[in-house]
């Protein structure tokens, strides 16, 4: 039986045949909607044609004179994330003579989902102008629309504040969902203290509101206040834990992510997919393979590996832990590979020294129809750099904009400079900077760092001296730059110049960031900094290392 036939039969069973359609009062139609009959039919529409067929049956049954009849069709179509469905919902909405609060709320949500936040605000204004009552469901999507336009309009902050004034006027300032949305808005506009005032003034705080405040602090990197709020929560759910872990992840405190994950497990909270992705990211940065394997096993048991975001995080984790075969296995299982998955795999094989495999994957990506982006080219250019594949790297750089429509950014220029520099083509790298980048700039530390390092390796004192003087003229040389230049002069036998650079380092009190190493022992991640003896077993470890050195010396003797 066709969709049209089955839909018609079910609708006619409920309301009668079109030719004999009785007159329905508003209460009866409200009951129809409340029972979910029309909503169920609308949700079963898989194509626009089927949706139009349902709409046609509603019109033929003469129940379209009240907004309650058509509201389910608009609701399903406007929030379906299907462009054609949303366009049709908008068309129906604009041609209606009777619109209610539910319809306007639905269209505000629809405009938000369709990435048209200004139209969402316009819909709200039309609602007010036509005297349509607002309710607590009106404002959360409207406030999210204000958040969406924060970066695209200088007056966007004002729009959000005006909406806040309306919320106060309509007496909805204690609704937890409305307050949560405003906390997100003020946090996004870097006014987190205003968000905290709203939070503190709200008498009825549910888990959503607490989590919103944690997330607000987390997004601006204030993990101390985020943790303070987190510890005060009367009850927590998986989303709360996820928000706190994400806060630590944003400031690269990955050890705290794993510590919090262990605490969450001990409390018996079941992790959601977002938590697993955050934990895998932490494992990738810390090299915590054992914990990463546990997450993979857990995801398999719950059949979550099909989630492309989680699968991509697994690819990244295995690659950074040196398990390329496992990364390729997970990557191969991803059915619909997006740019993120391809980028993770290309970066992974490049990180592990297989430049040719990275290029092979890049060409497979292009052939598959996935569009390479800025991150893709950073990964593949880096692979060419470490594989000394200068010709291929330069060719890819030229094809970025001409073939793939990706405009080179500073990081891509830095990759090319590094590519030429590591291959010993120091003069060519300097010419590339002058010709393609307009010379050295103050905000390009990766560029001049790569060039100076190559000058030291290939003992090119002339280019190194020119770069050093340019950096001095711009007053941007940092500790690392000074140390590199000092080594260039010292190794070239230019002791007077080397001493001058060293004097500058000493007088300015410059200190190079200490080296760091991380190991995983018995599911615990240990971090060690060069020169740091704060670890409780530091003396024992130093003695053990000394004994190893003595053993090596004895064997050599």
DSSP structure string for 89-156? HHHHHHH-S---HHHHHHHHHHHHHTT-HHHHHHHHHHHHHTTPPP-TTTHHHHHHHHHHTTTT-TTH
Quick count: other Cβ atoms within 10 Å of Cβ 25?
9
Statement: residue 20 has pLDDT above 50: no
CA distance linking residue 304 with residue 302, whole number of Å: 5
CA distance linking residue 132 with residue 149, whole number of Å: 25
Statement: residue 381 has pLDDT above 90: yes
Give CA separation, 509 vs 479, 502, 503, 506, 512, in Å. Answer: 9, 11, 10, 5, 10
Say which range, 37-41, 165-169, 186-190, 230-234, has the weakest mean pLDDT. 37-41
Identify which has the larger pLDDT, 104 or 410: 104
Query: Considering the chain, what percentage of its residues have pLDDT values greater than 70?
Result: 80
Quick count: other Cβ atoms within 10 Å of Cβ 474?
13
0.85 surpassed by pTM: no
How does residue 502 score in pLDDT terms, banded at 50, 70 and 90? confident
How does residue 540 score in pLDDT terms, banded at 50, 70 and 90? confident
141-167: average pLDDT: 85
Return all residues near 141 (Cβ < 8 A) that are at least 6 apart. 105, 108, 109, 112, 120
61-78: average pLDDT: 72
Statement: residue 515 has pLDDT above 60: no
448-474: average pLDDT: 77
Q: Are strands 516-521 and 524-529 parallel, antiparallel or unpaired?
A: antiparallel
pLDDT at 24: 39
CA distance linking residue 543 with residue 538, whole number of Å: 9
440-465: average pLDDT: 74
Q: Which residues of 415-435 are buried (b: 16+ CB within 10 A; e: fewer)?
A: bbbbbbbbbebbebbbebbee
> What 3-state DSSP class applies to 525?
strand
Query: How high does pLDDT run on average in the chain?
Result: 83
Statement: residue 538 has pLDDT above 80: no
pLDDT at 421: 86
Radius of gyration of the chain from its Cα atoms, rounded to whole angstroms: 31
The residue among 97, 115, 107 whose CA lies nearest residue 76 is 107
pLDDT at 80: 86
Identify which has the larger pLDDT, 186 or 462: 186
Could you give the count of Cα atoms lying within 13 Å of 71 in the half-sphere of its Cβ?
21
293 phi and psi, to 5 degrees?
A: -65, -40
pLDDT at 26: 41
CA distance linking residue 491 with residue 378, whole number of Å: 32
Statement: residue 35 has pLDDT above 50: no
């Amino acid at each position: 039986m066709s969709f049209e036939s089955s839909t018609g039969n079910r609708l006619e069973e409920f309301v009668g045949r079109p030719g004999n359609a009785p007159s329905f009062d508003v209460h009866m139609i409200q009951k129809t909607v409340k029972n979910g009959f029309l909503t169920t039919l609308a949700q079963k529409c898989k194509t626009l044609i089927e949706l139009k067929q349902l709409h046609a049956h509603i019109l033929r049954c003469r129940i379209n004179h009240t907004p309650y009849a058509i509201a389910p069709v608009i609701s399903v179509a406007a929030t379906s994330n299907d462009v054609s469905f949303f366009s049709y919902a908008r068309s129906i909405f604009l041609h209606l003579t009777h619109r209610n609060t539910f319809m306007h709320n639905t269209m505000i949500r629809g405009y938000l989902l369709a990435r048209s936040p200004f139209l969402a605000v316009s819909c709200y204004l039309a609602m007010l102008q036509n005297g349509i009552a607002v309710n607590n469901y009106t404002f959360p999507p409207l406030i999210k629309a204000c958040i969406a336009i924060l970066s695209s309009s200088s007056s966007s902050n004002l729009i959000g504040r005006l909406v806040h004034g309306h919320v106060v006027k309509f007496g909805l300032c204690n609704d937890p969902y409305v307050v949560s949305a405003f906390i997100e808005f003020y946090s996004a506009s870097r006014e987190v203290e205003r968000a905290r005032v709203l939070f503190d003034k709200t008498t009825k705080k549910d888990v959503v509101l607490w989590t919103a405040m944690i997330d607000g602090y987390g997004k601006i990197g204030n993990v101390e206040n985020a943790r303070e709020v987190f510890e005060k929560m009367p009850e927590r759910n998986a989303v709360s834990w996820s928000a706190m872990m994400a806060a630590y992840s944003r400031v690269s405190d990955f050890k705290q992510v794993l510590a919090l994950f262990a605490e969450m497990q001990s409390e018996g909270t079941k992790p959601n997919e977002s938590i697993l992705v955050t934990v895998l990211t932490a494992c990738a940065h810390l090299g915590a393979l054992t914990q990463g394997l546990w997450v993979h096993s857990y995801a398999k048991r719950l059949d979550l590996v099909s989630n492309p975001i989680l699968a991509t995080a697994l690819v990244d984790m295995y690659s950074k832990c040196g398990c390329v075969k496992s990364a390729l296995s997970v990557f191969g299982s991803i059915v619909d590979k997006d740019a993120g998955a391809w980028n993770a795999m290309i970066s992974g094989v490049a990180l592990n020294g297989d430049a040719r495999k990275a290029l092979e994957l890049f060409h497979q990506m292009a052939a598959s129809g996935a569009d390479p982006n800025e991150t893709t080219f950073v990964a593949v250019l880096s692979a060419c750099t470490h594989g000394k594949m200068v010709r291929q790297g330069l060719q890819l750089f030229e094809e970025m904009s001409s073939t793939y429509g990706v405009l080179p950014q500073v990081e891509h220029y830095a990759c090319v400079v590094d590519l030429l520099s590591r291959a010993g083509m120091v003069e060519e790298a300097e010419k590339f900077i002058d010709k393609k980048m307009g010379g050295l700039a103050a905000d390009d530390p990766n560029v001049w760092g790569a060039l100076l390092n190559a000058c030291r390796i290939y003992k090119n004192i002339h280019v190194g001296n020119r770069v050093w003087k340019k950096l001095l003229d711009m007053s941007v040389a940092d500790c690392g730059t000074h140390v590199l230049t000092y080594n260039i002069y010292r190794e070239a036998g230019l002791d007077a110049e080397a001493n001058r650079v060293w004097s500058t380092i000493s007088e300015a009190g410059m200190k190079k960031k200490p080296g760091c190493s991380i190991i995983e022992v018995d599911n615990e991640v240990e971090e060690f900094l060069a020169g740091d003896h704060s670890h409780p077993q530091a003396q024992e470890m130093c003695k053990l290392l000394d004994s190893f050195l003595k053993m090596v010396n004895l064997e050599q003797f």
